[in-house]
Structure 1
């Protein structure tokens, strides 16, 4: 089992919640999403500085050209064709602020400009980081 942090904007966070699917851009993120397996956990970071929730992957990655995601923030049309189906695990009504966890997570701790680490569509996080986030999201 693996744990992933997925970075999205507010518009696409709504798509994730409604359609229970996560997608990555055609040119970035394909290799990461292809590594996602059913049972993996995906934590959603919603720009700016919030956690949206935790989902579990319920499919292998697949390709779809259905236009459900928003692309305006990317400056070019993007359909995020490489996708995985999801099942909600913990999804608070409103996203939670991320600032409280910056010093507790291995991928941000000690970094002055920690947000640079979040400029990817998704990346693996450690089981320990996942547990810190899960505990925080559960409240």
Structure 2
């Protein structure tokens, strides 16, 4: 089993939550080919301004991947810099845990192995999906229970 963290915005997080589907861009075909059913996926939402509030970066949920597929049907909202990307490499998901309160990400950074540059940590999450150590996954899940 492999553990992954997926980076998204809050708009696409709502689509993931409602549809139990995650999608990545065409350029990430190499990642899609490495993902297998039974892998686990954490959802990371980036910091976002909402009105006068600044919502922090957070972990919102954990899923088990149940199926890998390709689907050209528009579903996700692409950031402006990605043009008409529709995230065709998709994964059907089964919820493991949807956090009642999103787990703020910044306080976790000192204890995460996959974040090797603690000062420039956002660079580690500028990809649609990346593999993380099982220890990091377990640590985040434990923090989500507290």
Deviation at 1:74, TM superposition (A): 3.3
Does structure 1 residue 131 correspond to structure 2 residue 138? yes
Runs of 4+ deviating beyond 3 Å: 72-75
CA distance in structure 1 between the partners assigned to 2:107 and 2:127 by the alignment? 21
Deviation at 1:93, TM superposition (A): 3.0
- The 5 A counterparts of 1:21-60 are 21-27=21-27, 29-48=28-47, 49-59=57-67
Gaps of 5+ in 1: none
Q: How many residues align?
A: 137
Aligned-CA RMSD value: 1.3
Contact 1:21–1:84 (8 Å) recurs in 2: yes
**Structure-2-length-normalised TM-score:** 0.88
Q: Which moved more, 1:29-38 or 1:122-131?
A: 29-38
Contact 1:45–1:51 (8 Å) recurs in 2: yes
- CA deviation vs aligned residue, 1:13-67 (integer Å, no higher than 9, x gap): 001011101100112x2211221111110001101211011000011x2110111
More strand, by proportion: 2
Gaps of 5+ in 2: 48-56
CA distance in structure 1 between the partners assigned to 2:100 and 2:81 by the alignment? 27
**Structure-1-length-normalised TM-score:** 0.92
